[in-house]
Each structure stands twice: as C-alpha cells, then as structure tokens.
A = this chain, B = another copy of it.
Amino acid sequence: MKELSFFFDFSSPFAYLASTQVEAVAARAGATVRYRPFLLGALFKALGGPDVPLFAMPPTKQRHARDDMFRWADFHGVPLKFPSRFPINTVKSLRMILQLDEASRAPLLHALFHAAWVDDRDLNDDAVLIDIAASVGLDGAALVAGTKNDAVKAQLKAATDEAVKLGLFGAPTFMVGDLLFWGQDRLAFVEKALHGWRPRGE
C-alpha cells in the first residue's frame, strides 16, 4: 500500500489548508495518509531561526503571505478565518492526537484544525479541547488528562526530533518514499509522486 506522510502542526494555516486536501490527493492515488504531528515551534528553534517566521518577514512579504492563505482557501473552496490568538499554543492538541492510532486520527485532526482556523477557538483551553473531542465521539477528558502523561510528552518530543532528523524545516511537509515536499502548494507534486513521478535531480 502506498503511503503519504503528512507532517503537521495545528499552528500553521497552510497545514490547515493541506488538511482539507490531503485525503483526496491520497485517495486518487490509492494511498494511505499517515498523520504525523510534531511541534513546529520546536523545529524552528532547533534550526536556529525565528520562532514565528511570519513575524520575521518584511511587512510586504507578511501581507502577501496572509493574502496568499486566503487565496488558497478561495481556490480550494474552504473556509478560513485568521485566529484572534496567534501564534497558537498547540502542545496539548498535538499530544491528544498522539494518543490515537495513526489510522484513527483523522476525525479529531479535522475537528481541531477547523476549531483553530475556522471557528477561532482556543486550542490551549482544556474545556474547548474536551468539547472538540466529544464532537467526534471521543472521550475528551481522558485525552486531555493524557496530555500530562510523561510518556505522551516524550512521544511529542520524539516526533519532533524525528522531524528534525528527516530534514523538515516547516509545515506542512509531505513524504512519499524518500521524497520530501514542503508546503501545501506542492500537493500537485505530491500527487504526481504518489503516481510514480521521480523528478529529475540536479
């Protein structure tokens, strides 16, 4: 079975946009999506860059990046609202996802992305997180309690270390075999790769 690894953090609007498309891309290629959360801020820190690259951009580039995310939302036909809190603290929400088997992560993942990037809900608020989990039939209280579990904390740390080791530098990132693609604007490349494309190298 072909696999498409989808590396994401709920903190990224472009990861949200990717989340609205990635299953259709995989389905058209008969591939399975592997949902791989990691902590984007920790990756940035490991790479020595700014904590929030958006804020480090020149004002004109920052403006364009914001226009760009809304253009993509329009292009895909999906809703998007820039949240009133940004950057978003996503540690708890990522730890919730990690407590689920990869094969059962999708519903909670979509509910969390939607809460953050459409409904402007606070992913750092336990009551909100419990409610979101309940909305997809999960035991939110147990999952939120689990975010304080040392093994779960270590799991997020390990997932982020793995992202660094694999050569990630942003989110979303996709891997098809050993090909790494950064950005939801490369989903057309991802899809070609799932269909067997091996792009010419340097």
Contacts of A170 in B (CB 8 A): 61
A63 x B199 contact (CB < 8 A): no
Chain B interface: which of A32-40, A68-76, A137-145? A68-76
Give the Cβ gap from A33 to chain B, nearest Cβ, in Å: 21
A201 x B47 contact (CB < 8 A): no
**Extra A-B contacts (17), CB below 8 Å, given A70-B200, A71-B200:** A49-B58, A57-B169, A58-B169, A60-B167, A61-B169, A61-B182, A64-B167, A64-B180, A68-B182, A68-B186, A70-B199, A70-B201, A74-B199, A74-B200, A75-B189, A82-B202, A185-B185
Among residues 154 to 170 in chain A, which have CB atoms less than 8 Å away from a CB atom of chain B? 167-170
The complex is assembled from copies of this chain, and their number is 2
Whether, in the assembled complex, A66 has its beta carbon less than 8 Å from a beta carbon of chain B, the answer is yes
**What residue of chain B has the Cβ atom nearest to residue A82's Cβ?**
B202
Whether, in the assembled complex, A131 has its beta carbon less than 8 Å from a beta carbon of chain B, the answer is no
Interface size of A by CB at 8 A reads: 32
A selection of 5 A-B contacts at a CB cut-off of 8 Å is A47-B60, A61-B182, A64-B169, A70-B199, A70-B200
Whether, in the assembled complex, A48 has its beta carbon less than 8 Å from a beta carbon of chain B, the answer is yes
Contacts of A200 in B (CB 8 A): 70-71, 73-74
